[in-house]
Structure 1
């Protein structure tokens, strides 16, 4: 036994389970290409349960999910996304044409479409949000990441679409005042998972070095080398 070796944490999972966890984190992808095969109801239920197991600030559980079963409603959501896609491209200036060549959603192709939203009456939840009210969105993001990882482990793809006017989508879905749609989720079977994030494969952006994103003790001054 190495006397200098640190003891393993008492509640550590078996190594093969740890490896599987890191693998699903590493191989999760924001998917845009889908097969039309349906998602089994029991599998969809498991993924929603995974989302519902997420942590939330003050245990407020702000997430709400709307399953889009009506094909005409899917088409209407797709039209809203397409409208914002064009507006986003125009706002990108020199990268407009490059952006328009990207596939940014799979709403009409995927097996399931869900809209993830923040509930109404969130102002009643003060615990953990008095100075950081945006923690409701952070909590919803944790739920979506749970679902994303569970979907990847189950062999399904998921894509988070944020190209839409939230007021228009809320009106389309008859959401009450104060509720806010935050994501159109494309979920379903895929022909293959991207080897790297799609936007990296398309050379839209590259993953930054972790060393450039981790600071010690304070935010470094501009131009100062990282510790």
Structure 2
């Protein structure tokens, strides 16, 4: 059976979705629950991601309970306080003003875990970490599908993975890869928020692409 072919217009639409994907924070979310059909499409996008050796090493925990999310938020607050100590002066002040999560504001949190296979995986014998990269691919698929549905998604990385695993009663062998906040939003910014706030500048294509080999150090 032949695979589907796509049109130049399809490619343009995908490009638009890619370029307009945003990391959404709590000050943008509505409390309206995500519809079941939309949630199913987002999760199906995740499990259709590429995975090394077709291992599909992802598992998802859907979190809507307010008390559970408050416990996760407490972990964020603790880790965020520690994180601010890595910056100093104006940079630290700017960091403390950033809204970096939407754990309570979003109607749905999804914790995404990596489940090791316990045995040899085709394509993973030389680079064990590519199993985790497969889970990241699933998250990216979910992010793009969410954006195509005009649903916001934010990835919260300032968390204690062990605390999250305990809160959600997850087996010890699972590894937290991503903690996601999802919901309908009031607007999507035309630029990534950290770019808009001038926390970092976007790198040019020319600055990160090399021909044949990595350039010699100066």
TM-score, scaled to structure 1 = 0.90
Relative to structure 2, which stretch is displaced further, 134-143 or 169-178?
169-178
SS of the residue corresponding to residue 85 of structure 2 reads helix
The counterpart of 1:20, out of the listed 8, 13, 20, is 13
The counterpart of 2:163, out of the listed 161, 164, 168, is 168
Aligned partner of 2:80 in structure 1 is: 85
Aligned partner of 1:185 in structure 2 is: 180
Structure-2 separation of matches of 1:93 and 1:122: 42
Cα deviation for residue 210 of structure 1 reads 0.9
Question: 2:124 matched to 1:129?
Answer: yes
* RMSD between superposed Cα atoms in Å: 1.5
Aligned partner of 2:141 in structure 1 is: 146
Structure-1 separation of matches of 2:113 and 2:120: 16
Structure-2 separation of matches of 1:23 and 1:133: 33
Equivalenced residue count is 213
SS of the residue corresponding to residue 72 of structure 1 reads helix
On the 8 A contact 1:60/1:125 being kept in 2, the answer is no
Relative to structure 2, which stretch is displaced further, 125-134 or 135-144?
125-134
Structure-2 separation of matches of 1:131 and 1:99: 38
On the 8 A contact 1:58/1:125 being kept in 2, the answer is no
The counterpart of 2:108, out of the listed 106, 109, 112, is 112
Which stretches in structure 1 are left out of the alignment for 5+ residues? 1-9
Structure-2 separation of matches of 1:126 and 1:16: 38
Cα deviation for residue 31 of structure 1 reads 0.8
Q: Which runs of 4+ in 1 moved over 6 A?
A: none
Relative to structure 2, which stretch is displaced further, 11-20 or 57-66?
11-20
SS of the residue corresponding to residue 131 of structure 1 reads coil
> What aligned pairs does 1:57-76 form with structure 2 within 5 A after superposition?
57-76=52-71
TM-score, scaled to structure 2 = 0.93
> CA 1:11/1:51 → structure 2, altered by over 3 Å: closer, same or farther?
closer
